[in-house]
Chains A and B, each alone.
Chain A
Amino acid sequence: MIRFAPAFAIAVLIGPVAFGLAATFLPAFGYLPTLGGASLNLEAWRQLLATPGLAGSALVPLAAGLITALASLATVCGFVAGWSHLRAFQALQHLLSPLLAVPHAAAALGLAFLLAPSGWLMRLVSPELTGFLRPPDWLIIHDSSGLTMMIGLYAKELPFLFLVTLAALPQARPGPHAAITASLGYGRIAGFIHGVWPLVYPQIRLAVFAVIAFASSTVEVAILLGPTNPAPLAARLAVWMNDPDLAMRFKASAGAVLQLGVTLCALLIWIAGERLAGRIAAVLRLSGRRFARDFAPRLAAAGAVLLAGAAVFSGLFLLALWSLAGPWRFPDAFPQSLTLATWSHHAAGLGWPFAVTLGVGLASTLIAVALTLACLEHEARSGRSGGRALSLLYVPLIVPQAAFVFGLQLFFLVSPLDLSFAALTLAHLVFVLPYVFLSLGDPWRAFDARYAQLALAMGASPARVFWRVRAPILLRPILVAAAVGFAVSIGQYLPTLLIGAGRWPTLTTEAVALASGGDRRVIGVYAFVQLALPFAGFFLATLLPAIIHSGRRDMQAAG
């Protein structure tokens, strides 16, 4: 049974992914008969390359992908190395993990309102300190170098890498390692990098790749915070794809292929960087330098984490405040009055979208977790991985959605599933499965096989080993992966809208449609409604292992 798992996973995905890829690549080379493109040609590429500002559009996301990943990874590494021995660390972990549940758009919107010249920070000090009765004409949001966009991505990706790192940490046994490196005179960070990081990084590597892929191809954050003259490629793609002139879809598809190239390029540069970093670490190891005085970098890492957390939390607080606000004008630091009108106006009619969101989220997450576990268990028992074919799984992560979803739509239209709940679940699965796989794959493979060998030697069946040994030890990463998958499902807008065609409204389709009206009060309400479900998911993912493993000291995070 279980040996068919990889084949089954591929069978489920191959149709949607193949259609998605075909719908991205064929129109890029002129083929889309419905719109009059009957032959292969390079016209779309000629048009794309003639677009003003294309180089800037491609370079900013490339830089954003690499810088965001490097900065957030360095922060996580320094923070975990420097502070995971403290009790307060545990509390912080519970505090930061809910940030994962915050939709990117909501986080970006909150940040924009925090930092804008007419935003909250400025309102707090105006006019008393600044003398400004009207906001200054400063370019902060949408700055041309994309710095604000990178800050937004950094603040949002930090909790993700943090949580993934924590899930991987217990197996690297940081406590004993720290004791050894400390006794050898190494500083906390140096000891961690030499002793623990080589065991942790391989486990979180795919998550880092996901961060690079996301940061280099994000649409929402780019639109809300990124440069506009020119905008990052992904944001321009979305505009071209939605252009009323349907002929623009050819150029948009060529742009999607270019975007894919940008993301792959960022990943290749990162992989080259990994090699370089490995060399540098080796040189440092051999040099014997201890870096015993590392309080400054430890402090910097803690400061960065606190600042990022504070930024996202205050952004959320501001959205909450907006959802309750009466009139609120510059330079007032707080609304003139508070009202529940916006909430009561929108609360009705949320029941059905809520039920659909929950249903499709649970269904796709359960299938994804079951498939992932089956594939990994098969790999563990047979010693063979699912092979290169399983990398098919990651395709939906790096192909720009706008073009890809068009192919998905075609796939379901020619299948008998069109417009059914099953179609929607399968469409979500296409995006949920890669995240679950990459969250779970490496911690699973890092599992110390001797536990299983011991159990087998005592006569337990492979199934019993799975249920009694492997699954309980890996409970935390399993639940984190499920929570990530659930959050991914809830965040899906375009696939839900285009494949459900309004038959299956979710909180997200409602939220994005209403948010297009631009009223911050309404956006505030929906951001919180949208936040509630994934928040509950992450809450359970951190709470359950703590309860279940409460009697087992070595199963606590960062043990």
Chain B
Amino acid sequence: MTLSIAARLAACCALPLFLAAAQPARAAEVDDWRAVEQAARGQTVYFNAWGGAQNINDYIAWAGDMLKERYGVTLVQVKLDDTANAVARVVAEKAAGKDEGGSVDLIWINGENFASMKQQDLLLKPGWAGKLPNWRYVDYENKPTITTDFTVPVEGLEAPWGMAKLVFFGDPARGVAMPRSFAELVEWTKANPGRFTYPAPPDFLGSSFLKQALSETVADPAILQQPVVDADFDKVTAPLFAALDTMQPDLWRSGRTFPKNKEALRHLLADNEIDIAFAFSPAEASNAIATGELPDTVRSFVFPSGTLGNTHFLAIPYNADAKEGALVTANFLMSPQAQARKQDPKVWGDPTVLAMDKLSATDRAAFDALDLGVATLKPAELGPTLDEPHASWMVRIEAEWARRYGVAN
């Protein structure tokens, strides 16, 4: 054992010096899927994915076993604490002129990171996701966030992997009734001082909370689909900031500090410092119950008038070394088998991007058989999905938030 590790280490010290030289360029022709599968055989795909949850890492390891067995593709998860690190690597490679043989093959991505990579021409083109064989099962007709990622057209530059929805959770065993809208939440905070907070924007979840609040307080939601017009900003956001001003003194720690991210928020609920937490994943509460972090009396809830929703994706950098392997991986992760396993709360609990009516009877049965767990809402209970506001609103609101509450001292 020790010897083999030492030998492996010694070999690895020497080998890459010689092997790191550029490999010949290959054109990934997605239309000829057999050729893609053939080229993929023997490739190693470096999958850059957030590595903060063991159940997700385990799921990716399972997918790696399947890919190895069926397609001869070796999947290596590069565990990240922040997707930005994968983006940074690609930016550096582009800056160094390394347009082929890049070190990142596949990235778990969505929203602003996608928008940035798309805008900076860092993604594999032309669009490929719609040409994957398993695209035929994808529910792009009824799930608009599959084709529009945070108001940015996807154009096939990333393949859908899973669905997300803003879900709140709390512990009914503590005997506190939960609010059913943002307006009720403002009242609730007044009645329960120090028992609610949200992550400080520009954290993803914190900003999402502000978007949810904006969508519920705006007089005419249609205006949020347009880019911000300076003249309107104050008027449109006045109810939002009036509500946030009302909440501020009654927030946890009187709003003098905010949790950093969704993990910190969940901790506060677990430590009984607050009574309501929220996340962008319907299975968040069930997963935390499974690890023992939250008591099994915790339950999820949504606002009946709707909460924000989005989709998370897989993207391939323009200079990926194992493009075919990455395509095969993205296609497999979109397959009914992989999607059904991912939706199993004992595995991960991430909602599928597929349409049930497009599946065969056997595949559908696999989804129907899933037991979602006590704290996870059924798909039908998740309520309507609100549209994401145009990205320019968030930029302005984050800046205004920082000015008002970010430097309280």
Residue numbers of A with Cβ under 8 A of B are 32-36, 52-53, 56, 116-118, 134-135, 137, 139, 142, 144, 223, 227-230, 239, 241-246, 325-327, 329-330, 345-346, 351-352, 355-356, 359, 406, 409-410, 413-414, 416-422, 494, 497-498, 501-503, 505, 509-510, 512-522
CA separation between A355 and B4, bound complex, in Å?
A: 10
Q: Which residue of B lies closest to A53 (CB)?
A: B407
Which residues of B have CB within 8 Å of A418? 20, 98, 103
Contact in complex: A134, B409 (CB < 8 Å): no
Q: How far is the CA of A355 from the CA of B95 in the complex (A)?
A: 32
Contact B20 A419 (CB under 8 A): yes
Contacts A52-B406, A497-B80, A501-B78: A413 and B98 contacting too (C-beta < 8 A)? yes
Is there contact, CB below 8 Å, between B76 and A144?
A: no
Please indicate the chain B residues that have their CB under 8 angstroms from the CB of A52 in the complex.
402-403, 406-407
Docked complex Cα distance between A327 and B407 (Å): 36
CA distance in complex: A150, B8 (Å): 43
Q: Which residues of B contact A326 (CB under 8 A)?
A: 292
The 4 closest A-B pairs by CB, nearest first: A518-B263, A502-B78, A517-B52, A244-B112
**Do residues B200 and A516 form an inter-chain contact, with CB atoms below 8 A?**
no
> Separation in Å of the A152 CB from the closest CB of chain B?
16
Closest to B264 in A: A518
A242 touches B256 (CB 8 A): no
Contact A516 B291 (CB under 8 A): no
Contact B263 A356 (CB under 8 A): no
Q: A242-B84, A244-B113, A519-B291 are in contact. Are A142 and B406 (CB under 8 A)?
A: no
Interface pair B46/A502, CB less than 8 Å apart: yes
Given A135-B272, A329-B270, A416-B20, A516 and B263 contact (CB-CB distance below 8 Å): yes
Instruction: Point out the residue from A34, A509, A510, A518 that lies within 8 Å of B91, measured CB to CB.
Output: A34
Q: Which of A118, A241, A515 contacts B52 (CB 8 A)?
A: A515
Residues 239 to 262 of chain B near chain A (Cβ within 8 Å): 252-254, 256-258, 260-262
**Segment from B10-18, B123-131, B354-362 that makes contact with A:** B10-18
Please indicate the chain B residues that have their CB under 8 angstroms from the CB of A505 in the complex.
Answer: 78-79
Kindly supply a per-residue 1/0 record for chain B positions 71-89, scoring 1 wherever the CB is within 8 Å of any chain A CB and 0 otherwise: 0000011111110110111
What is the chain B residue whose CB lies nearest that of A54? B407
Complex: A227 Cα to B257 Cα, angstroms: 7
Residue on B nearest A138 in the bound complex, by CB = B253
Are A421 and B13 closer than 8 Å at their CB atoms? yes
* Further 4 A-B residue pairs, CB within 8 A, beyond A241-B84, A416-B21, A510-B51: A329-B295, A418-B20, A497-B85, A514-B57
A326 nearest in chain B by CB position:
B292
Q: Which A residues are CB-close (under 8 A) to B93?
A: 413
What's the least CB distance linking B409 to chain A, in Å? 4
List chain B residues, Cβ under 8 A from A33. 95
Do B272 and A327 touch across chains, with their CB atoms under 8 A apart?
no
Q: Point out the residues of chain A lying under 8 angstroms from B46, CB to CB.
A: 501-503
Contact at B51–A422, with CB atoms within 8 Å? no
- Output the least CB separation between A237 and chain B (Å): 13
Choose from B12, B52, B112 the contact partner of A518 (Cβ within 8 Å).
Answer: B52
Does B25 interact with chain A (Cβ within 8 Å)? no
The smallest C-beta distance from A247 to any residue of chain B, in angstroms, reads 8
Partner of B87, one of A118, A244, A325, A515: A244
Instruction: Please determine whether B52 and A514 come into contact, CB atoms closer than 8 angstroms.
Output: yes
Q: Chain B contacts of A32 at CB under 8 A?
A: 95
